[in-house]
Amino acid sequence: MTENLKNNSNQVSRRSLLKKIGVLGTTGAAAATGVTLAAQVVEKSGQEFSDSLDSFFQKHYRRMSPEEVQVTIARLQRKAKRKYNKDISIDTAPPLPVTLFGYALNISKCKGYRKCVDACVEENNQGRDTQIQFIRVLEMERGSMNLEESNHYYDPETVPQKGKFYLPVQCMQCENPPCVRACPVKATWKEDDGVVVIDYDWCIGCRYCMTACPYWARHFNWNEPHVPPEELNPVTHYLGNRPRSKGVMEKCMFCVQRTRKGKQPACMEACPTGARIFGNLLDPESEIRYILENKTVFRLKEDLGTEPKFWYFTD
């Protein structure tokens, strides 16, 4: 019915239309546009409604079938589109075979520029208002390893300072992670490549994992995180840097969206001094293996038995 009216009004010239059906025609056309608009609105909000219903019932990532994963990804993309008006990709690449990721950091090279911190925020879509940073660089007194004397809020413009050294800390991807054991709903787990990940859509926000982590590596979205759309990194991974919501936990996941594609993590790429060495611990040819075998390395709080896969070394 409305379709007919629309067609008619297109066929008949405007003038004769006004003459012939006069007010009736215009009302009809207006009504037609109104109805289509309303239908669109209904369809859109209907979609939004069914999306939010589906996200309420969304399963644990590891329990989804491949089809369910696809449906979920499509829905998450729609959600990101609504929030940021931007198309994003959400990768689900599994761990690479025979891979165990590890990191080594040369503290004699690190000068405390915090370039890694900024690159990480850009890469991983942390909320700009929530100001979450996965990496914390501590300014330490030379001659001491006492973290309580470290300065967390030094000014990167003035580094390096005399008598200080710099100690970046981030998630150590522990082999024996207390955070994973703590989680009451298995929202966080260790993948086969040794990376501890979080299903942001399964986390209930109890923050027990945060209490359990000895490296202060976990960060919580105390409010709804916002990223300016132009700054949003659209290349994401489900377990990595996809947009998060309020009330959930997040942390460094060794840039799974990059490293599972053979790329370097963003922090390593950004480091101007080359202090950071990332690699596959199972590959005897890798640089990180060379460092572990030939340099004097140490790990932070090794006595706690969490088996961090993050080493520090000096030249």
Partner 1 sequence: MKATFSFWLDFIREAFRGGKLFYLWMTLLTVVVFLGFAAYIRQFQHGLIVSGMSDQVSWGVYISNFTFLVGVAAAAVMLVIPSYIFRDEMIKEVVLLAEGLAVAACIMCILFVTVDLGRPDRIWHMLPFVGEFNFPQSLLAWDVFVLTGYLFLSLTIPYYILFVRYKGGEPKHNVYFPGVLISIGWAISIHTVTAFLLSSNVARPFWHTAILGPRFLASAFSAGPAFFLLTLKFIRRYTDYPVSEKIFQRIAIIATVALQINLFLLFAEIFTEFYHQTDHTASALYLFFGIGGKTALVPWIWSAITMNVVAVLILSIEPLRNNSRLLSVACVLMVVGVWIEKGMGLIIPGFIPTPLGEVFEYSPTLIEVTVSAGIWAVGLIIYTLLAKAAIAIELGKVRYKKLP
Contact 147, 168 (CB under 8 A): no
Q: Residue 56 touches which of partner 1, ligand SF4, none (CB < 5 to 8 A by kind)?
A: partner 1
Task: Output 156 or 178, the one with its CB closest to ligand SF4.
Answer: 178
Contact 112, 222 (CB under 8 A): no
Contact 198, 187 (CB under 8 A): yes
Between CA 286 and CA 249 the distance in angstroms is 32
Contact 262, 239 (CB under 8 A): no
Question: Residue 242's CB: how many other CB atoms inside 10 A?
Answer: 25
Binding positions for ligand SF4, 154-183, rule CB under 6 A: 171-174, 177-179, 182-183
Q: Is 30 in the site for ligand SF4 (CB under 6 A)?
A: no
Interface residue with partner 1 among 22, 94, 229, 305 (CB under 8 A) is 305
Binding positions for partner 1, 88-147, rule CB under 8 A: 132, 136, 138, 146-147
How many residues does the structure list for the chain? Answer: 315
Q: Strand 196-198 to strand 188-190: parallel, antiparallel, or no bridges (unpaired)? A: antiparallel
Min dist. Cβ of residue 119 to partner 1 (A): 20
- Site map for ligand SF4, 256-285, x if CB under 6 A? ------------------------------
Among the listed ranges 21-29, 30-38, 115-123, 199-207, the one in contact with ligand SF4 (CB under 6 A) is: 199-207
Q: Is 10 in the site for partner 1 (CB under 8 A)?
A: no
Binding positions for partner 1, 170-199, rule CB under 8 A: 178, 181-187
Q: Residue 219 touches which of ligand SF4, partner 1, none (CB < 5 to 8 A by kind)?
A: partner 1
Token duo for residue 128: 């700009």
Question: Residue 77's CB: how many other CB atoms inside 10 A?
Answer: 18
Question: Residue 125's CB: how many other CB atoms inside 10 A?
Answer: 24
- Would you tell me which residues interact with ligand SF4 (CB under 6 A)? 171-174, 177-179, 182-183, 185, 187-188, 196, 198, 203-209, 213, 215, 217-218, 249, 251, 306
